[in-house]
Chain A
Amino acid sequence: MTLEQVLFLVFAVVTLGSALMVVTEHKMIRAALWLILALFGVAALYVLLNVGFFAVMQVVVYIGAIAILFIFAAMLTRKSMEDIGPQVNSGWPAAALIGALVFVSLAWMFSRWSSFAVLPPALADDTPALQQLGVALVSPDAYVIPFEIASVLLVAAMVGALYAAWGKNE
């Protein structure tokens, strides 16, 4: 076992363990904190995949913005469920069964694929760097349309979120 594999296993255990805590934890604040740990685990996996930029994006966007939003929402809505009583609905065994079935069938499907156990090719000099990703995102031959649509989506989401959460006199 190389050091890389040991690191992968450590990060995988951290990610999956805290993801399990996210879906089973009773108190929403604690679930949000476990979610932060799971997102950090995914960021570490990005580093192992040689995409440091995505690790930074993961910390900035997911942990810095999304997880903080979750914590705010959990604190603003604390009085309703008060984190007592069952936090799962009555159909949870069926949900667990569906989750297990999806995992088994995904793993089975992947394992029948010819490139299942392929090893990573070495990073060459012509491997696209961050600069090429930036150019591709604004180049008309590549991804400028999805990029612009994503920015329109973000503006629409911002306006919509403001409108939905605005305090009206009722």
Chain B
Amino acid sequence: MIPLSWYLILSAALFSIGLYGVLARKNAIAILMGVELMLNAVNINLVAFWRYLDLKTVAGQAFALMVFAVAAAEVAVGLALIISVYRRRKTVAADELDLMKW
């Protein structure tokens, strides 16, 4: 029997690692990878809450499926933008893409 706390701590750690990746990495692709880790942490939490506290309904599973769809859409658009930027500017470093900075 695994207590719920183990899953909560695990997903909090995974979320924090993803957050660090988003904030610290230079490469825009690596930033998207950090976002993926954060979305996975959220999904673990949703499914764990369903399993431990809300077994009678399917709400947790349904919302976890929505997160899957949103993650797929986010990565498709994000990577397309990165490739488009790379084609024009020959860089994927997030701090060099400062055209709209004032």
A positions within 8 Å CB-CB of B: 2, 4-5, 8, 12, 15-16, 19-20, 22-23, 28, 31-32, 35, 38-39, 42, 45-46, 48-51, 54, 57, 61-62, 65-66, 69-70, 72-74, 76-77, 79-81, 86-89, 91-92, 94-96, 98-100, 102-103, 106-107, 110-111, 115-121, 123-124, 126-128, 132-133, 136-137, 142-143, 146-147, 150-151, 153-154, 156-158, 160-162, 164-165, 167, 170
Contacts and interface: CB of A to CB of B under 8 A. Distances in A.
Interface in B51-102: 51-53, 55-58, 61-66, 68-77, 79-84, 86-88, 90-95
7 contacts: A42-B40, A42-B44, A121-B55, A132-B58, A150-B66, A153-B70, A158-B76
A8 B2 contact: yes
B79 A69 contact: yes
Interface residues of B, number: 76
A158 to B, nearest CB: 7
B95 A61 contact: no
Contacts of B30: 22-23, 28, 31, 87
Contacts of A72: 79
A102 B25 CA distance: 18
Q: Closest 8 A-B residue pairs measured CB to CB?
A: A23-B21, A157-B73, A95-B23, A99-B20, A161-B80, A95-B24, A103-B16, A165-B80
Contact of B24 (A38, A46, A92, A154): A92
Contact of A120 (B14, B21, B52): B52
Contacts of A89: 24-26, 94-95
B67 to A, nearest CB: 10
B76 to A, nearest CB: 4
A116 B3 CA distance: 8
Contacts, number: 259
A32 B33 contact: yes
B29 A22 contact: no
Given A102-B19, A110-B12, A133-B58, A80 B92 contact: yes
Contacts of A61: 68, 71-72
B58 A77 contact: no
B61 A91 contact: no
